[in-house]
Amino acid sequence: MANSSKSKPVFSGETALPNKPATKSANPTGGAVGLVFHVMEHLGKLNIRGDHSLETAVKAATGCNFPPAANHFETAGERHVVWLGPDEYLLLCESGKEKALHDTLTSTIKTSHFAITDVSDALCTLSLSGAAVRDVLAKGCSLDFLPSKFGAGKCAQTLLAHAGITLMALSDDAFILICRTSFAPYVHDWLVDAALEYGYQFIS
pLDDT digit string, tens, across residues 77-117: 889 999 999 999 999 999 888 999 999 998 888 777 899 99
End-to-end CA distance of the chain: 31
- pTM beyond 0.85, yes or no: yes
Q: Do the Cβ atoms of 167 and 152 come closer than 8 Å?
A: no
- Domains in the chain: boundaries: 32-203
CATH number for the region 32-203 comes to 3.30.1360.120
Name the least confident of 50-54, 64-68, 128-132, 149-153.
Answer: 50-54
pLDDT at 8 exceeding the cut of 60 = no
One DSSP character per residue, 117-180 reads EE-TTTEEEEEEESTTHHHHHHTT--S---TTTS-TTBEEEEEETTEEEEEEEEETTEEEEEEE
- Nearest residue to 74 (alpha-carbon basis) of 87, 49, 91, 99: 91
Of 200, 196, 199, 184, the closest CA to residue 19 belongs to 184
Q: How is residue 72 annotated by DSSP?
A: B
Crossing angle between the packed helical segments 55-62 and 98-108, to the nearest 10 degrees: 140
Report whether 61 contacts 23 (CB < 8 A). Answer: no
- Residue pair 52/36 in contact (Cβ under 8 Å)? The answer is no
pLDDT of residue 150: 98
Question: In the predicted model, is pLDDT for residue 1 greater than 70?
Answer: no
